[in-house]
Structures are given as C-alpha cells and as structure tokens.
Structure 1
C-alpha cells in the first residue's frame, strides 16, 4: 500500500466536513442563501460610473455647441473688456499710471548720485534735464530728472525713524505713529496744493506737473532722516547741526532746480512783461525753497529730546 496516497485520502475526508459546515452556515433554514456573493460587485458600479461620465461629457458638449451659449459668452467677454477699458481711462485721467512708470525708472547708481546731490548740491554745475526727441530721459540716465522713488522711500523711512525715536523716549504707540505719518502726508498735500494755486494765480507757463511738485516736495525727507538719525545717535546738538546743513542744502537744490522750470518761458515775452513776471517767478521760487526748511523743522523737532 502506498503511504502517500493513503495520507492524501485522509486529508480530503477531513476537509469535506468543514466545507459542508461552511456552506450550511451560509444557507438559511429553508435552504435559501443568506448572503449574496459580492465578489464581482466592483465591476458593475465602475461600468455605471463610466456611463455617467460619458453622459455628462455629452451634455457639456451639447451646451458648448449651443449657439445661444456661445453668443452669451462672447457678449460677456465684450462687456468685461469694455468695463476694463473704461476703468483704465478714468483712472488714468486722475492718476496717470503710465507716467508714474517714468518716475520710478531708477537704479542704484542714480539713487546714490541723487542722495549725494540732495546733501551736497553746491558743487553741481549742470542742472538742466536732458531730453531725447522732446521727451525727458528716464531718471536712471539723468541725475537732474525728478523721481518718486526717493520721496516714497524717504517718507516710509521717516515714519520708521520717528517710531524709533518715540520708542527710545517710551512714548511709542501705534496711534501716535499713525498720527505722525498722517500729519506728514497731510502737510505734503497742502504744500503741493499751495504751489499749484500760486502757479495759477501768477499765471506761470511751465512744464511742471503735479507729480514733479510732489517729487520736489518729497526730497526734504532725506534731510529730515539725516537730522533725526544724528539726533538719536549724538544728541540734540548734532540734530540741530545736521538739520541746519540739510536745510541749506535743500534750499539751494530747490532754487537751482525750480529756477529753470519757472523761468523757462520768460525769454518769449516782452521786456516789461518779462521783468514783472520774472520778479513774481523769483519770489515764488524763493517761497517754495524757504518752505522746505520750515517743514523739515516742524516735522522733526518734537521727536528729539
């Protein structure tokens, strides 16, 4: 007798009762099956899901192919473009964004030269702005061209230094720093509006724009920062000395810059008219230049103690 065949027959007889018990446990009392066989359930929902996706795709294609929907989409895009053009046109009327790019066309070399010119303007000889085909060149190519980068950065730096000065005196608070920044901004706007009103009353024909006046009025923040930093580092006497130097420098810078702008149209007028207009223009130039040191002292003296 073969021993291996006997052993395999014994294993089959041992497994048959277990299989019968398993089958009987899945059957009900009446012989019906209690549980369904879900081994192939995964394939049927996938087929249904793919049919749903195909139906949605056909519906989307039918909507896109509808001429009314295409017409509505085209009409909506045209309305959006017209609205954007209208907003750009009205915004450019009050805020010339296209011109603002010119005033921020600076580089590191220009900024360093301009800062040196604002602090030491006495040795500079040529103050005329260079032109190329009746258009002034960008500030990065001419140190005499006005810009808005230095005034904007100067204003922000002035507010930060003012907060530092208030902190060293245990007087810092967000409300007080906000009052300091808003007061400096309001005085700057008042100064520019006063100059525009003076130019209108004197009837001066000049190529100065509002942005030019804003740039020239904002250059004084450089001297204010120098005075505040000197006062914080070396005390009140250093503040007065450095501020006095910067006030004299901005006075000379403003006179030599605005003199060419305000007196450029005087050569085309008659002798008598030119003499009277020259006096008014010179007085206006001196007033604008003299106002810079006053604002510099007014906005900084209370920050140094």
Structure 2
C-alpha cells in the first residue's frame, strides 16, 4: 500500500553529489581568479589615488608642522625686528625657494627671514597670557578663572586674525595658501601685544602710545607680507580690490589690539 522510500538491500544507491565536469571547474577557477585579480588591481588603484590625493592636499594646505619650528637665536632676533619695526626692514619680502624632489619648495625659517614660523607666535602667546595675569595680580583681581578667560580671549583673538587673512584670500579667489602659514602670520600679533601689556605694567600712560604704534607696525607687516608672499598665489588680480583689502587688513588691527590689550575679566570691556 505504501511506497518504501528506504534503501532496498542489494540495490546500489545513486550518488548524491554527481561529479562535476573538469571543464566547468577550469572555467570557474579561471573566471574567479580573473575577477579577483581585476577587482584587486582596481581597488589598489582607487586606494592609491585616494591616498595620494589626501597626502597632496594635506601637504598643500597644512604643510609639515616641523617646518615651522626650524629656528635659531639669530632668526628669532631678526624676525622680531621685522615684526616690531617693519619700516626699518630694507631687504626684500619674498620667500626663498629651493628645488626639492623635482619641484620648488620654500626654505625653512632658519635660512629665510621671511619664512613664517610657529615658535615666535606660541612663545608670544604664552608670554601675553602670563603678562596679562601679572597685570591683574597687581590690581588685586587675579584668579585662576580670570587667567582661563584671558587664555580663551587670546585664542579667540588669534582665530579672528586668521579668519581675517583667510577671508581676504578667499575673496580674491585663492584659498590655496597653507593654513599653518596664515596661523603663523596671525600669531605675530602677540609680539606687539606683549610690548603693549609690559609697557602698561611699567607705566600705565605708555599704553596709550604703545597700542597705536604696535597696531601700525602689525598692519604694515601684514600688508607687506600679504602683498608680496600670500597674494602671489592668487589666481586673479584686481588692483583696486587688492588695495582695498590691504587697507582693510591694516585698519582691522586697531579694534583687535584694543580688545586684546584691555586686560580684564570681561570679554568686551
């Protein structure tokens, strides 16, 4: 009545896995190897081009941080003279290039007085915070919280200066200058601020002379630097617009210096 689905004695069971054709295995192995090889080569090409693109953009916009700390005592002295007394600088303002790896690169600060560095800006920024805290201590208003606010205020001022220079470059159709170059040029602001704050500590009335002088010197330094160094990378040149932006950079130093020079626990006054 019922079909017997089990194996009958003496009757051979048919193979469950039939043997595949050797030609099919050969074609399958060759095609899979070809696909894997093609995908691997394509993936390596994509990853290689992507890594080269990322590295080129990092070096293009950020440069090598070690480059900005290749300084010595002679460079620091000469650079401070250029920043604090730009009218006395009789040399050129262009940076010196040298062939490296088949292309032109700028010489480090130790060999070029016009090269930007980060050693002086960082040292000047730290000195500014210390002098500002000491000034508050002389007036009996020092506290750790006040020192923190001065530190943050200095960082905000540095950021505003960087934004100003970056805005001028972008408005002229060029944002290709390395970011650390702009950060370094903006950081020289604190060299003049240290002189102004120190003068205010020694003699309060000297502050009203030192602030305008440091503003004028910093404005002249940035104008000459932006005109000869950074604007050299601008793709389009507009003489009238160029001059207006330079004047704007110089005039913007006055409110920035007055704000940073006002040593208090308040942000605005």
Give the TM-score taking structure 2 as reference length. Answer: 0.69
SS for the counterpart of 1:264 is helix
1:178-217 CA-to-partner distances (Å, cap 9, x unmatched) read 011112202322332343244323313x752211111111
Is the Cα–Cα contact under 8 Å of residues 263 and 278 in structure 1 kept in the other structure? no
Aligned pairs for 1:135-174 within 5 A: 135-174=105-144
Matched, 1:100 2:68: no
SS for the counterpart of 1:299 is helix
Which residue, 260, 265, 269 being the options, matches 2:228?
Answer: 260
Is the Cα–Cα contact under 8 Å of residues 138 and 145 in structure 1 kept in the other structure? yes
Is the Cα–Cα contact under 8 Å of residues 62 and 179 in structure 2 kept in the other structure? no
Query: Any stretches of 5+ residues in structure 1 without a counterpart?
Result: 1-85
Worse overlay, 277-286 or 189-198: 189-198
TM-aligned CA distance change 1:282 to 1:234, over 3 Å:
same
SS for the counterpart of 1:132 is strand
Matched, 1:233 2:202: yes
1:200-241 CA-to-partner distances (Å, cap 9, x unmatched) read 23313x752211111111111011110111111122x11111
Cα deviation for residue 248 of structure 1 reads 1.5
TM-aligned CA distance change 1:201 to 1:118, over 3 Å:
closer
Aligned pair count? 206
Please give the alpha-carbon distance, in whole angstroms, between the structure 2 residues aligned to 1:104 and 1:289.
27
TM-aligned CA distance change 1:104 to 1:231, over 3 Å:
same
Please give the alpha-carbon distance, in whole angstroms, between the structure 2 residues aligned to 1:195 and 1:96.
14
Which residue, 106, 129, 135 being the options, matches 2:95?
Answer: 129
TM-aligned CA distance change 1:97 to 1:281, over 3 Å:
closer
Query: Any stretches of 5+ residues in structure 2 without a counterpart?
Result: 1-50, 265-269
Please give the alpha-carbon distance, in whole angstroms, between the structure 1 residues aligned to 2:254 and 2:59.
30
Cα deviation for residue 265 of structure 1 reads 5.4
Q: List 4+ stretches of structure 1 deviating above 6 A.
A: 94-98
Which residue, 248, 256, 261 being the options, matches 1:295?
Answer: 256
What is the Cα-based RMSD across aligned positions, in Å?
2.7
SS for the counterpart of 1:122 is helix
Give the TM-score taking structure 1 as reference length. Answer: 0.61
Is the Cα–Cα contact under 8 Å of residues 157 and 260 in structure 2 kept in the other structure? no
Greater fraction helix: 1
